[in-house]
């Protein structure tokens, strides 16, 4: 029988998304910029014979980049959990509040530490000491692997809007411009999404993303693309 996770009111508790919105949008933007660097190598004069090669290169480049990002994500998660286990072991074996405080200071923000009293730290140490022994080593779970797959899919899918005009529009010059314009518009939209998720000024983030795209396209045009 499957046990449902509920909140304090007894209602079903929603699971967090596999990827943090900032991580998701950042991965998409990274893939988009990578794809744009490939398509910006196309020249209007030679696009007819080079377009297929560039499309495959952009896709292959983002597949490789997505695999690297996914593996790094898994290694990062594993490292965080190993660090958490190490801190837990240190707290369990600590014999005084003075020994516990530096360990907790590394794990909690200063605003929380400022309101913690010495007796509360000592009580926390005692409670942790009574917990069952932690695992011998950190492991990865099903959701970790699903999140890694989601990272790979996000980076690869970011290639599609950029290479799709090259596949559908027969006029090379128009196809290149539409592809570049699509990438710049998407950078604007995802830059806004990142700004909303992080609380940074939207216009600054949007213009930064669009500036990167326009700079890449402008350099290509100046070089004869």
Tokens of 220: 């290509």
- pLDDT for 10 equals 53
Tokens of 201: 């000024």
Residues 78-134 have pLDDT tens digits of 998 898 888 888 777 777 667 777 777 777 777 777 777 777 777 777 777 777 877
- pLDDT for 9 equals 52
- pLDDT for 47 equals 55
pLDDT band at 224 (very low <50, low <70, confident <90, very high): low
Query: What residue ranges do the domains of the chain occupy?
Result: 21-220
Q: What is the DSSP string of 118-183?
A: HHHHHHHHHHHHHSPPPPSS----HHHHHHHHHHHHHHHHTTHHHHHHHHH-SSHHHHHHHHHHHH
Residues 153-198 have pLDDT tens digits of 999 998 999 889 888 888 877 888 888 888 888 888 888 887 887 7
Residues 14-57 have pLDDT tens digits of 677 788 877 888 888 888 888 887 877 766 545 555 777 888 88
| 6 backbone dihedrals φ, ψ, rounded to 5° | -125, 160
Check whether 2 has a pLDDT greater than 60: no
- Average pLDDT over all residues of the chain: 78
Mean pLDDT of 68-82: 93
- pLDDT for 145 equals 94
- pLDDT for 42 equals 67
Q: How far is Cα 69 from Cα 118, in angstroms, rounded to an integer?
A: 42
Check whether 68 has a pLDDT greater than 90: yes
Reduced 3-state DSSP string for 75-114: HHHHHHHHHHHHHHHHHHHCCCHHHHHHHHHHHCCHHHHC
Residues 52-65 have pLDDT tens digits of 788 888 889 899 99
State whether residue 12 is helix, strand or coil: strand
- pLDDT for 138 equals 84
């Amino acid at each position: 029988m499957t046990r449902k996770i509920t909140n304090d009111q007894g209602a079903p508790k929603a699971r967090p998304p596999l990827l943090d919105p900032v991580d998701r949008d950042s991965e998409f933007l990274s893939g988009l910029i990578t794809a744009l660097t490939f398509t910006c190598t196309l020249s209007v004069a030679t696009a007819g014979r080079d377009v297929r090669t560039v499309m495959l290169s952009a896709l292959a480049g983002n597949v490789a980049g997505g695999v690297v990002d996914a593996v790094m994500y898994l290694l990062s998660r594993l490292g965080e959990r190993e660090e958490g286990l190490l801190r837990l072991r240190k707290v369990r074996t600590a014999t005084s509040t003075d020994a516990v405080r530096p360990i907790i200071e590394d794990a909690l923000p200063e605003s929380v530490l400022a309101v913690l009293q010495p007796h509360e730290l000592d009580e926390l140490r005692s409670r942790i000491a009574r917990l069952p022994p932690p695992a011998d080593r950190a492991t990865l779970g099903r959701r970790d692997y699903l999140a890694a797959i989601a990272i790979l899919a996000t980076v690869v899918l970011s290639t599609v809007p950029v290479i799709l005009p090259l596949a559908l529009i027969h006029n090379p010059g128009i196809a290149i411009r539409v592809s570049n314009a699509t990438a710049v518009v998407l950078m604007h939209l995802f830059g806004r999404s990142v700004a909303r998720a992080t609380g940074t000024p939207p216009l600054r983030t949007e213009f930064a993303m669009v500036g990167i795209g326009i700079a890449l396209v402008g350099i290509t045009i100046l070089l004869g693309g």
